[in-house]
Structure formats: structure tokens, C-alpha cells
Amino acid sequence: MQDAIGNMRSRLAEIDLTAGTVHYEDTPPAVVREFLGGRGLNVAYLHRLLPAGVDALSPENVLIIGAGALTGTGCPNSSRFNITTKSPESNILGDANCGGFFGPKLRYSGIDRLIIRGRARQPVLLRLGDGRVEILDARAYWGLDVNDTQAAMRRDFGPTCESICIGPAGEVLVRFACVMTGVKNAAARGGMGAVMGSKRVKAIVATGGVGLEIADPDGLLALNEQIKDYLLDSSIVKVLGRVGTPLLYEVSNHLGTIRTRNSQDSSFVSTLDAEVIHEHVTKMISCHSCVVHCRHRNIHQGEGPEYTTIGLLGANLGIGDTEEVIRLNDLVNRLGLDVSSTGGILSWAMELYQRGIIDASLTGEPLQFGDYELVVRLIHSVARREGFGDVLAESSHAAARLNDPERKYLIAIKGLPQSDPHDCRYIKAFALGIATASRGADHLRSRPTLEVFNLPKDLLREIYGTDIDDDPTSYNTKEIVVATHESIYAVIDSVGICKFICHGFNSPKLLKYEHFSQLLERAFRASFSVADLQAVAHRIIDLERAFLNREGIRRPDDTLPWRYFEEPLPNGVAKGHRIDRAKFQEMLSRYYRLRRWDADGVVPQERVRELLAAWDDGSGA
Amino acid sequence: MRKVYTNPALCSGCRACSVACALVHFGIADDALGAIQVVRDPLQRYEYQTVCRMCEDPECVAACMAAALARDPETGRIIVDRDRCIGCWMCVMVCPYGAVVASERLGKAIICDQCFEREQAACVAACSTGAIQMAEAEDTAGIAE
Amino acid sequence: MAGPIKTRYTIVGAGIAGIAAAEAIRELDRSGPLLVVNGEGVAPYCRPLTVEVLTDEKTPEEICLREAQWFSERKITIVTGDPVAELRAPTKQLLLATGQVVAWEKLLVAVGSQPAGVRIAGLEQVPCFTLFTQADAARLKPLCKPGAQALVVGIGLIGLQALTALRRRGVSVVAVEVAPKVLPMILDAEAAGYAQRRLEQHGIDVRVGTSVQELRPVAGGRRPYQALTSTGEVLDFDFLVMAVGMQPNLILADRAGIARGRGIRVSPTMQTSIPDIYAAGDVTEYPDWIEGGEEVHAHWVNAYRQGRIAGRHMAGGDPPPCEPVFLNSLRVFDLPIITMGASRRDALEGAEAFVAAAPARPAYRRLLVRDGRLIGATFVNDVGEAGVFQYLMQNRINIGEVAEELVNRGRKAFEFLDELHRQVVRGDLEWAPSMDLISEYRKNHRHTRWGHNEPEK
């Protein structure tokens, strides 16, 4: 088994904060072989270590931070790592993928994965370097915002250190607090920051000192260069490198699918178009080893905004002023809040106020869409759990207090507000994707963007291996579309490469299984065929689902916000479209069959046993 | 004499150059081992590269008391004899460009060798924004004289 | 004995100043007879690395400065182990210890410095060593055994080197320094605090503000010798290492009547008060433009620079003047430190200090700025950019507007240095005007068909 993974290192540090101890070991090669790294190995560990029903904010929860198999190797866009835990926002799988510079530095510090358990008595930080982890006093940093914390890390651990940290929101356990690195990179979704805060870990700082041994450096460099040149020739990479993700705003807006005022509308102003945003940008910058440089250093504050921010803090809150959206973006980043949930929860409250379902006796003041100053106040109060902010900080758990117990007006699935600013009533595959995504309403698990491209049929057949219905509003064959994307994204998240240069996310071309296979071969002499990688993807998706099943997730949870079924889209090309309940259920059944889950969306027990078998192989090896 | 030039305005800060350099010279992926470094501070909002400027009369060579550094008159590159280098950082103390990498981990100085054995320097090949170029160059005037 | 050796250039001393001068002469004059007189009995070697020999990290061969071949290739004659007995300026001759006479047209005195001593009552009754030459290292080595107890007098650069080497060989060390801080000629009080803590972490018993009043042998004690300190304590030891500083070797110069203060006085082109006699390196004193007055500062880089200038001038060149500043690169065990200029000053009239301290790391950067000019800089455990500051100091570049940003690595510091080195860094090459234009943005997504623009694999 060691031969199969070559010299790929998968070094683990298990930190018990209650006891103050650190234990080191290597992940068994048989397990690496089956789950690769990043998201895959993280969920393998989470499933193994966390029993069902644990309170996500209790010391018993397990916080796992793992780099992808190719993270830090220098191959294009290999910056990414995953944080995986039980989410305090959704109470199911919490798993967030993040770029920046921390992932590579984690590996250069001689560690590929951290498993953090227990709870420290007082604020601590973890220092990683020279293959070791130290638990240090972090009381001096507690209370600092994200930027100030990282400035302090640079001061105290040297200018080449890289850190992840929580802001004030994580400290007070806001259920959608994120973990940040750099000015805007976030392991955003699912309340990773609240879990870190519950363990009283303010920051994790990596200083390097070990590096990552590469089996065939010249071969890898040659392949990297070839891939880089191929990517730079791609028009989508060029576009992303110039304007970044905001370009998607116009696409959604044009279709009449940009979530506006809590999805009561579906088109919004053009002052948030990519070209307008671009006027506010001084330089495009990169994550580690990135050839795209999609990150905006803007002229106001911070970096961004991304499409998600423009959508959820812009259109979704009825704010159309470019600079205001950019400032809101920086504010949530500094405080350590997830942009998507912040926007989704605030707009939910605003609509409830608008409908008279709640009033000023709860909110303290009128809530109006489009009121920038109000939004700034609310964000501050959420991040510190003050006043009405303390209610909103509970995210979807606030349903009863917000007098919307069925969450009728919350655009969320499985308790997680929807991240994609795209209204999924139009493109049915998008709807199936967010309904079944393993961490709740999330587009990064399966989003089949190719649906909007009008690709020729022969190309579609090549991509999906069968004929599919090329009408994005059709329900037919969309389970195949979703499963195909879901699979490759699982591998992408496990090798630690950015989706922007990968097949399926923004383009029918770019990097595919074949590329990952070659890269793993050059980097570690690890032999993973395309079929092997697809099998890895299959395992990850099944094990994530098994984790969800164990937490009680069944077919009725794989659904969509009420509005997506009941109200047709009001604007644009997509006007009149909604999701048909019966057709949705049929699509869902077909998806389960394709995944070989039962009719209730449960992974068969024998499959689960099969997924766990590698641990026994590994310990015996 | 060929030489690596850099342009901070075009640098996206990704450090692919440093990793490529480390891969070529050490077989290890680690941006800290690159002779070309990207100094970046996302909070202060800058990123720039540092790499040997190949001074004609190099201060680093003059300052080396272990006789570990030498300038190759043909290629103009600074050769570091790692067996001799003792990590005293005298070269670091005098390099006007902050381009000597003081590796505490190796206890040795790392200085760009212009990838003289390769057709193209690894950092240039790895850069995706055209922020690093290799060109034939006149000697950079020494700082001392 | 044959007749006088006739030379065009004679260099007395084979340290780095002498070698640099010889090298510089040969750049301008490839054949003029050139003689180097090396008083020591071994091939020229790097004095600062003597401690590496003591700790067995280097062999004597490995610290050799230049091999015999280097001299022969350059047609340089080297006389080894025959020190100069007398310098006869009026007749332009040298008399060597063996009686050999050397005639010269241009002479460079580069005889360096030697460890200074202090008078301590009872000094002659205890084993006292210095650690400077290879001979010193050879004598000290047999005593360096684990369990031995050394007393190091003086915690300057030489003392630091000695105690580091002793500790590495397992010797217990108590070190006394009369000044209230360690490395008093190099570090300000705060930086010295970092250094002292690191010494203590490595098991050195450090006593600052302490001098040794009396030394004596004791019979039947824990150790054979004792020192009584100014603070009234008794320190037991097996042997003593004297490291109270360096002093120029001035005997030759004094007998020849060369003007001097604490060191030989030289012009900016390294000429002494006697025509055709030059001096360079640790034996000289130079006008200190930072603090005024004359300064003797033994340092490798300055010696090299001075040697080169002397050599070029001797060979008829016209080198730019040398205006040395105080420079140090040192290591307190695993804590690297670089300093320059008036770094030892806790305060200096008219100067402002800019400090970035990170005690947790620990790391420390401090700039001393007067009238916009950098006159002192200290880098503790964060030395990578020190050379940039050395350049700013040597060239007296006005940094008044950005000093605060420079010490804190702020954006304005980056902009300032980018402007300063623009041409050297970017060359005269064509660059893309900005990152924007690297990639052409085709606004073709309105019809949602971007996929067709993808390149074929």
C-alpha cells in the first residue's frame, strides 16, 4: 500500500486541548489510498472519531484541519486545505475549503493534518513548525479582529509565518463565524470559527521549517509549466484574472436569477457589475502558487468583493452602492463572519420585519432593505452577540425567536443558508445540487455551471459519459449532471487545488482526473489511475452521506427553501420558473439510485462497512 | 551574462517562483528555500520579489570570511560553497537588495545561481504574470565603487 | 643570507586587509613585484573562524583564507613565519626577524590587532588564555572538557565567541562584563537583554556590571582557582579566558614614527603620515562620521574594504574614499544579530529611535535616525533585510519620511525601496504595463457561451 501512495506524506498531529497534549502519527497508507487528503481524509477521520449526536460547540466535537494531497507542491493553485467538524450552524457535516497561504505553510511545517479535541482552559494558539505543535497562551490576542490578530502573528512569529484565526465572532460562538487567513480567505461555511472559538483556539500559526519532499522535482516542474501555459490560454482563466468572480453577478442578473431582497426579487442594479467593481481595484493578487490571481485588492478596505459578497450583502440586502458593498465585505471579514450566512440571515430578518412577522420590540429598530448603516450596525451586533444581534447570531436556530419556526422565508437547506447568490429556481441541476449537498445549501459541492453554457451535445456526451438533456430548465438527467460534478469536486477538494482551474466548475476544459493523476505521480510517485480517483470521490461522497445519515438526515431533509417551490421567479429570462415538487422528488429518487443509496437517502450499511475497512487494513499493515 | 529581473507591480504574490527554485535546487517544495523570495504582507498591501542582482563587485563575496562565496567571472553568478558557508550572515549584512536568503534551517546562505544549467530559470518558467524575466544584461555596478 | 628582496609593493600582514590589497593591486598591475609578509607560521587564515577550529567544526585547512596556489597564480610572493623586526621608512626597507631585508616602493601596514588585557591582581597565578590565533585555539583545546569550569572576562564579541565555543565543548562558563549590559560596544540595552537571556538559556552564568578584582589559586577547593568580583562574590574556575577587547598592533608603526591615535591615522585613501606607507584593517583608526572623533573598529568587512582601497591607490588607481561604519554580524548561540553604526547607543543626542519589538519571538529591530539619515540599526533574530539598511546608511540616504514604516515593514517602506532600486531590479526591460492587461477581458458572457472560447487541449 505504501508503494501505491509513493512518498506522499500524511502526518497527523492530534491535539487534546483539555489535557494539553499533542500526539503525532502518520495516517495509515491504506487510508490515504482510499481518501487521498484534504476533504476526503478529513471526513474519514471525522466519521471515525465523532460519535453521533455530539453538541457541535462542546469539547467533544473534533476540529480537523487538513491539507490536500497536492497542497504546497507548487503545482498551479495548490493552496487549499479543509476544515472539517460538526457544524454548529447545521448540526451536520461542517466542511470548509480555503485557499491563501496557510495550507502550504502547514505542510512546510512538517504536518499535513491537525485533529483538535477538547477545550482549553484559557485562550490558546497553536504554533506549528519544525514538525511540532506547541500550545501557547493567546490571552493577549483574544478580542482582536482578524487583521489585527494576523498582524500580531506576523510580529510575534515572523513575517513569513502564515496563520488562520477567528475574529470576535468566533470568540462569542456566533454560529456562522468563520476561520480566516489573510485579509479575505475564509474557511467560511458552517461555523468553523465558532467551533474553534468553543475550543478557545484564537489562532493557528505555521512557521515552516520542514518542507515537502518531491519524488520527481524536474518532472513536476515540467508538468506544472505545461499546465500553467494551458491554463493561461483559457479565456475563463483570463477573465477571472482580470475581474474575478464578480463576473458571475452579471450572468445571474441577466438571467433574472440574482437573489434579491431575500429572493423576493431576482434582478438588481448594474452598479455591482464586474466592470464597475473593477474601477475600485488597485491590483489583482493570488493565493499560493496560483496562476489565476482572482483576488481584488480594492482601493477602500481589504480584498474583494467576491460574487458571493456582491450577491448576498449587495442584491440580497438591497444594497447597490459599489463602495458600500466593498466596505461591508471587509467588515464581515475583519469580524470573522461568514459572508453567505450573514447576508442570508439578515435578509431573512428583514423580510420577516417587512411582513410584520417580527417587529421593533424584538429588533430594536425598523429593518429596511437597502439601509447600509443599519446593516453595519447589525453586523457589529451579531459579531458581538449584542441585542438583536444575539438572536441573529443563532443563524437558522433563531427560527422560533424570529417567529418563523418552519423557516419558510429562510433561504437555507439543512439549516445552512444558501451560499450561491444564484436563485436555483431556474436551473434545475443547481437546485438538486444544493438540496443534496453534504453540508447544506451549498454550491461548491456540485454546482454544474456548465448548464449555462449551451454546450454542444457531443461535448456534453464526452463530459457526462451519456446523453443528457441540454435544457437547463429540464429535470431530466440532471442527477447525472450533479453526480458527475460532485465527484470531481470531491477529488479537487482532496488534492487541494482551486476549483477555478478545474474541469466543470467554470469551464468544460481545464484540469481533470488525468491531470491530478499525473501530478500525484510526479510529486510523490503515487499511482492513482483515473478510475482510482473516481473511486476516491465515490467513497468521500458516500462517507459524507453516511455521516449525515448517522446524524439523522433522511430524504425529507434533501429539499429546497419553501419559496423555490411555491413562488415563480419574478424577473428576466427566468421569469415564471419555479421548482415543481413532484418532478423534484422524481429527480431526487433518480439521484439516490445513481448513488446506490436507498429510497430514504441512506447509504447501505454494507457500503459503510466497506468504507471503514481501510482503517483495519492500515493498522494491520 | 544572463540575469533575472523582477517587477513588483506585476507580482501577484503567489510564490510559485520560490517553490520552483526550491524544487530545482533542493528537490523540496518549500518557498522558504527559494533563492528568489516574495516578500508579501497582505495587511500592508504589498508583494515584491528579492533575488540576486549579480553585482559586478559583489559586497557579499567581499564580506564572506569563510571564503564560501565567489563570483563566477564568466556567468556573473555568485557561487555558494555550502560546505564552507557557516551561516555567519556577513553577506546578509551587506547585500543592498536584501537578496541573500539567510536560511537558519540550513545554516547556510542561499543565493540565486541564475539556473545556469537550465535553458530557462525555474522562477521565470513558473511565473504566471510575467513578473520575472531573464535577459542578457550589463553588469550591475558594484555598490562599493 | 641573500641580498635584499626588491619589491614594488610590500604588504605586511596576511589577514583580510592584506589579502584584499594584494588582490586589488593585481587588478591594476599584473606583474609589479609584490610581496606579502605573513608573520604567523601558518598559511593565511580567517581569524574570526578560529573558534570553529576549537569546536572541531572546521579544520585549520578549512579556514585558510587563500591557498599557496592563489598567490602563485597571481605572481605574489608570500613569506610565512618571518615577522617584521623593523620598518625603515627613510630607506624604504623592512628588516625581517631572520635578518632578511625587503626593499619596497609602496608599503601597506596591515598587521591587525591583538587581544587586549587588563591588570587584575593575581592574574599571573592562574591559567589565562586568549582565543584569537590558531595557536591560542590549540593551547585551549586540551582544557575544554565537559565538566570543566571556565571564567570568561569580558562579554564583547571576542568573549561571546569564546564562551560559545567553550559551551559547545561542554565546558561550564561563568562570564563577567564590567558594563551593565552584554556586548556593550554593539547593543543597546534592550537588544542586550535579548542576548543575555539567550546566553542564560544556554547555560551561561552571566554577570554584568561586574569586574574581577582579584584572582588566586586555592588548595582543596571545588576548583583550583577563584576570582573575587566587584560585587563581593567568589567564582570558582579551572581556567580563565581574557576577552576584554582588541587593540591595534602599533609597535612597528610607533618605531617608524607613523602618526597614530588609538590606531594608525589614515587618509580616506588609506595613506599614513609617511609618504608611500599605507595602512588598512584593524590596525587603523578612522574618522567616525556618525559620532565624530576617531574610531578603531576591528571588523572583517571594513578591513576588506580598506584593503582594497589601499591596494588600488598603491597601484596608481583612484578609488573612492572609504567611510567605514561600525558593522557586526554575530550569533548568540541560535540568535542571529546584525548591527551597524551607533547601535550600542541607548540614546544619542539629536537622534530618534524607531523600534519594532516582538519579545515573544523574540525579535527586535531598531533604527536610529538623525537628520533623516540612518546612523544606527539593530536586527535581532530578524536579520534578512539588514543589508538594505547597511546600504541606506553607507549612502546616507534620507529616510526621514519613512523610518517608522521601514522598521515596521509598512507599505510606504516598500514603495520607497521599490523606487530606490527600480532600475537595478527591473532593468531596462519591457514589462506589461499592469496586471490588468496581462489578460484581455472579453466581455462575452452575456450570451452565456464562454465555454466555446476554451482552447483545445
Of the pLDDT bands very low, low, confident and very high (cuts 50, 70, 90), residue A621 is very low
Task: Spell out where C288-371 has E strands.
Answer: 294-295, 327-332, 335-341, 351-358, 363-370
Helix or strand run (H / E) with residue A417: strand A416-417
A230·C436 Cβ contact <8 A: no
Query: Cis ω on the peptide bond leading into residue C362 (within 30° of 0)?
Result: yes
B32·A72 Cβ contact <8 A: no
Instruction: Give B40→chain C minimum CA distance, Å.
Output: 10
- Three cell numbers at A388? 438583536
A242·C441 Cβ contact <8 A: yes
pLDDT at B81: 95
> How many angstroms separate the CA atoms of A450 and C449, rounded?
10
CB B93 within 8 A of CB C301: yes
ipTM attached to this prediction: 0.95
Best residue of C381, C405, C435 to probe chain A, by most A CBs closer than 10 Å? C435
Q: What is the 3-state secondary structure (H, E, C) of A66-107?
A: EECCCCCCCCCCCCCEEEEEECCCCCCEEEEEECCCHHHHHH
Burial label for A405, CB within 10 Å (0-12, 13-18, 19+), is exposed
Query: pLDDT for A491-549, tens place per residue?
Result: 999 999 999 999 988 888 899 999 999 999 999 999 999 999 999 999 999 999 999 99
Q: Looking at the predicted structure, is the pLDDT value of residue A563 above 70?
A: yes
Which residues face A187 on adjacent strands? A179
Looking at chain C from residue 360 to 399, which residues have their Cβ under 8 Å from any Cβ of chain A? 360-361, 363, 382
Backbone angles phi, psi at A531, to 5 degrees: -65, -40
Burial label for B28, CB within 10 Å (0-12, 13-18, 19+), is middle
pLDDT at C445: 43
Nearest beta carbon to residue B23 from set A147, A183, A220: A220
Q: Nearest to residue B14, comparing CAs of A154, A305, A208, A285?
A: A285
> How many angstroms separate the CA atoms of C370 and C368, rounded?
7
Query: pLDDT for A357-381, tens place per residue?
Result: 999 999 999 999 999 999 999 999 9
What three-state secondary structure class fits A511?
A: strand
What three-state secondary structure class fits B101?
A: strand
Contact list in B for residue C311 (CB cut-off 8 A) is none
C301·B66 Cβ contact <8 A: no
pLDDT at A540: 98
User: Which residue in this structure is represented by grid cell 445552512?
Assistant: A416
CB C228 within 8 A of CB C134: no
Q: What is the gyration radius of the CA atoms in chain A, in angstroms?
A: 22
How many other CB atoms are there within 10 angstroms of residue C386's CB atom?
28
**Mean local confidence (pLDDT), A205-220:** 98
DSSP A313-331: IIGGGT---HHHHHHHHHH
Looking at chain A from residue 75 to 134, which residues have their Cβ under 8 Å from any Cβ of chain B? 76, 101, 104, 107-108
Query: pLDDT for B31-55, tens place per residue?
Result: 999 999 999 999 999 999 999 999 9
B14·A291 Cβ contact <8 A: yes
User: Which architecture characterizes domain B2-130 according to CATH?
Assistant: 2-Layer Sandwich (3.30)
B6·C334 Cβ contact <8 A: no
Query: pLDDT for A452-480, tens place per residue?
Result: 888 899 999 999 999 999 999 999 999 99
Q: What residue in A sits closest to B11 (Cα-Cα)? A: A285
Looking at chain B from residue 76 to 135, which residues have their Cβ under 8 Å from any Cβ of chain A? 105, 122, 125-126, 128-129
Contact list in C for residue A293 (CB cut-off 8 A) is 435
Query: pLDDT for A287-298, tens place per residue?
Result: 999 999 999 999
What DSSP state is assigned to residue A358? S
Provide the residue-wise pLDDT of chain C in tens; the chain has 457 residues.
568 999 999 999 999 999 999 999 999 999 999 999 998 888 888 888 888 888 888 888 888 888 889 999 999 999 999 999 999 999 999 999 999 999 999 999 999 998 888 899 999 999 999 988 888 888 998 999 999 999 999 999 999 999 999 999 999 999 999 999 999 999 999 999 999 999 999 999 999 999 999 999 999 889 999 999 999 999 999 999 999 988 999 999 999 999 999 999 999 999 999 999 999 999 999 888 999 888 888 888 899 999 999 999 999 999 988 788 899 999 999 999 999 999 999 999 999 999 999 998 999 999 999 999 999 999 999 999 999 999 999 999 999 999 999 999 999 999 999 999 999 999 999 998 777 544 444 444 444 433 333 333 3
Q: Which residues have CB under 8 Å from C456's CB, separation 6+?
A: none
| Helical segments of A109-191, H only | 146-157, 168-171
B28·A286 Cβ contact <8 A: no
Which residues face B6 on adjacent strands? B132
Residue ranges and CATH numbers for the domains of chain A are 2-206 (3.60.9.10), 237-409 (1.10.569.10), 417-616 (1.10.599.10)
Q: Nearest to residue A143, comparing CAs of A120, A123, A158, A118?
A: A123
* pTM tops 0.90, yes or no: yes
A208·B30 Cβ contact <8 A: yes
